[in-house]
A and B are shown apart, each in its own frame.
Chain A
């Protein structure tokens, strides 16, 4: 946009400037009156000519549990990066509910707004205790001054207690997080997500490196979360996906290849070709 056009834009009488608009109200419920809570439309991302996402369209309904599968390089992680604000797309739009334009928000604003993310590799604060990990994740005022002077309320402490029980780390709450086992770290990270109390959970490969029992437990937890939260799970483990999935989306080369129930998707000839064909 050249300067003249910018100026003209400024003169428009119906223009509402950003600074006059109220700051996004995170405490208010996300407006989902039209059904979906997350709109990803025509999103493209390219790195040095390589198209990681290619006109991706994805709609997640409020309270839905969605599994996303796809071969390596299909763009699953990039998609999460775009939704959480880590990567800005070249084109397209991403809306959270009806009113929140995620492309205009920074990572922490998106997180405060109600989108939580679990990384592929468990990322927790290894030098802090399990309790402190959850404490930091707790949904509360996260401004510098507030964290310097205020400690958590009793309600929030109760919530931590609850989550500790849920993720089975009640005994270890004083332990340094770095000393936990791999599976426990995965759990702790999920617990931290829960403390954020997000509307949408993005979960990247939650059961990688878990034992059979732990996998079962995780599947149970994720299914129980659906309904209150929308959950998007990216996973390679087909058995796991089958055990939790209601609706599956298959990504391939940066766009949606197929969408539907697990059975539908598995019988789709294009999906079979992508997975087995090469």
Chain B
């Protein structure tokens, strides 16, 4: 019954998930077991890149869930992603121990530079993995809860919500740029050594993180799918299409929006937490409003309102980004900007919608 609901009725999703699963199995083998001079060898760089894309796909899922399904455009999802990333970064920093440049047993290098005497209270506990993981979920979740509660209760919707979420991530960016905040200021957190005792530079650790990201994406997809196929999912779509009708049908619209927003924020945070050990750095630039709006474009390009569309969008846009920023960095912003315009004007349902249209045409013939 549940498998029917989650998988079988979702052909596009099955296909995309199948591909993800396939890469998850093949890529580690090709990276670890195949000799480096073989044409089949997958380089460490590619593994890292794919791992990054998987995190982005999870992030795109979270954006699609509230934008595509509930019609709430958040331009601040980068904030939740980054907060998750910072929580993970703090754990990784604590793991450095006395191997920092200044060799202080407890303080981070940047704290030594600032002449701090002791570890600030909010850095306590992050040496424990479970605690850090709890914070990965709790901090962004709480922020989303408070922020969403305030916003939805006052019925801040549409563009207003978009603008204040953008202001939120902008404010956080400015705050994290400050050295006094105790998160490394401009440089952020970097120079990580190991995670759970595994060397971050080691090949196997990287592959492990890649697989972890992949599993997170699959689980995240299932969770989202569970939500959108439940009655709650239909209420959410109802809110998107006719909010007042939903309200007069007896649903407390605000709490639906709120819990979905909180869940989505946590999903984004998990993506951030997986992203940071793979790229080895988190800095305030991740909070920049541009990042948050880029995520929305992944979803728009892939096709909003379909969960696998978000994954397709995240992969294709980021692949294009990698391609163009390597071969012709100048043109990338032109292409990204053009993509924004094109998708909104010509492809409101994204790539997935395009396929749909073709396949439907095919059916008729």
Contact = CB atoms under 8 A, between A and B. Distances in A.
Interface of A: 84, 86, 106-108, 111-112, 116-117, 119, 123-128, 132, 135-137, 139, 142-144, 147-152, 192, 196
B2 to A, nearest CB: 11
Nearest to B238: A125
B55 interface: no
Contact of A144 (B238, B240, B250, B259): B259
A268 B64 CA distance: 59
A117 B248 contact: yes
Contacts of B227: 148
A198 to B, nearest CB: 9
B235 A147 contact: yes
B244 interface: yes
B249 A136 contact: yes
A147 B238 CA distance: 13
A106 B254 CA distance: 11
A135 B227 CA distance: 16
Contacts of B246: 125, 136
Interface string B241-276: 110111111111101100100000000000000000
B248 A124 contact: no
Contact of B231 (A108, A119, A123, A150): A150
B104 interface: no
B253 A108 contact: yes
B249 A126 contact: no
Given A123-B244, A147-B235, A148-B232, 13 more contacts: A107-B244, A107-B247, A108-B248, A108-B250, A108-B251, A111-B247, A111-B249, A125-B242, A136-B238, A136-B249, A137-B249, A142-B251, A143-B252
A148 B230 contact: yes
B282 interface: no
B237 interface: yes
A125 B255 CA distance: 19
Contact of A123 (B230, B242, B252): B242
B231 A128 contact: no
B357 interface: no
Contacts of B235: 136, 147
Contacts of A123: 242, 244-245
A135 B234 contact: yes
Interface in B192-223: none
B256 A112 contact: no
Contacts of B238: 125, 128, 136
Interface in B113-155: none
A144 B254 CA distance: 10
